[in-house]
Amino acid sequence: QVKKQCDQKLLIRMKTKCVPCSLNLDTQCPAGYTKITNGTGTPDCRYYLETKTHTLSFPGCRHRCVKEFEQPECCKGHWGPDCMGE
């Protein structure tokens, strides 16, 4: 039995919205994603507050999230929706 299907594993990365670090403890990743940062997350962003006259910028935190995704792919020498070939 020759293996026809060789699925590729893809890692999709994303970051949550930048918020005040003190509020970031409870931030969740979107459904299907796994949080890979702990506590308040990574302090590598800025968030903005708009007043009537100014836009203020503050250092903030965000979490990193990953999702594993299998992309169906045929092995070398096979093709088509059913991975026929050779």
**pLDDT by 10s per residue, the chain, length 86:** 678 889 999 999 999 999 999 999 999 999 999 999 999 999 999 999 999 999 999 999 999 999 998 988 999 889 888 888 76
Report the distance separating Cα 75 and Cα 58, nearest Å.
50
List the beta bridge partners of residue 79. 84
Global pTM reads 0.73
Which pLDDT does position 17 carry in this prediction? 97
Tokens of 65: 């999230």
Distance of CA 38 to the CA centre of its chain: 15
List the beta bridge partners of residue 15. 64
Contact 62, 13 (CB under 8 A): no
Total Cβ atoms within 10 A of residue 24: 21
